[in-house]
Amino acid sequence: MTQVLVTGGTGFVGSWCVLALLDAGHTVRTTVRDLRREPELRSWLQAAAPFDDDRLTVVRADLEHPDGWDDAVAGCDFVLHVASPTLRHTPANDDELVVPARKGVLRVLRAARDAGVRRTVLTSAFGAVGIGHPKRTAAFTEEDWTNVDADIPPYQRSKTLAERAAWQFVADEGAGMELAAIHPVGVLGPLLGPDDPPSLRLVRRMLEGRVPACPPFAMGFVDVRDVADLHVRAMTDPAAAGERFLAIAGHSLRVLDIARILHERLGERAAKAPTRELPVWLARALGTVNPELRLLRHQLGQDLDATSAKAQQLLGWRARPIEDTIAQTAESLLAHGIGAKTGP
């Protein structure tokens, strides 16, 4: 029976990866930073799709500390490295995110190699592919890399440098261990538990009426369940070794398109969602005083489209319609009492 380690099991993508693996019949070990979260994680997963409780083990390990990683990977055939360091505040400098992200990836890869893991699947991001480039019309592919020499946000810089470090480590010190990388665009979809993932905050804020007008840009989105499915395919398919895979449902959407879909699918429950888009010049001007718009400065006026043709052709992966995902995201947020609030 195949044993798989998933790092970051309580995270949005991580928890869905655990569920997908259990559903496929694998035995799963997952890491959390706080073992007090084990009961709630098990309850989320069992409520979504009941499974033999003996096939899931929860262990403590923190990317920023060396303890626990050798035990976490011991006996595992595969690793899905989904976890990534996060901050509860705006970093004073990029190294607050870059250094932990890079060290964390190398810590997991080193432990995996030493344990004889066959393949590690790294959860990277579109942020390691399509940020910091001049305006373009062609869709981004896996051949593209984010320009870390540009003035880009710390998160995108950290994902890019961590992934580059991972590929370099496997090439230089991997001892035959294989690596594949998954690059989701904006990840939406239903919640397994009552957490509030950062990737769902745009939809939440729209439902709460906290987005008076949409920022003027387009980007891709994908369902978290399809992201988990792509991780499992990249783990098991021989064709995935040494490859990067973008995960996007169809083509890019303008932020205003998301608001429109919410209005169409949820009716009055999405009455507070915006109905207009900011002009580019105004969004840039507001970015001088609005921290959220400031972080989007490289995206304003751009269409950050991407293609999943590679994942479709090599791995047979398919994404569900993003319109359904957007509606189900909103329904799930409201069902968990998230998105119905008003005010800051």
Give me the active site residues, please. 159
> Closest Cα partner for 172 from 236, 103, 110?
110
> Closest Cα partner for 125 from 62, 199, 196?
199
179, β-bridge pairs: 120
Helix (H) or strand (E) holding 69: helix 69-73
Tokens of 311: 């994942």
Phi, psi values for residue 61, rounded to 5°: -160, 140
Tokens of 72: 């976490």
Q: How crowded is the C-beta side of 263, counted as CA atoms within 13 Å?
A: 13
> Closest Cα partner for 131 from 148, 114, 118, 106?
148
Residues composing the chain: 344
- DSSP track, 230-286: HHHHHHH-GGGTT-EEEE-SSS-EEHHHHHHHHHHHHGGGGTTS---B--HHHHHHH
Q: How crowded is the C-beta side of 131, counted as CA atoms within 13 Å?
A: 25
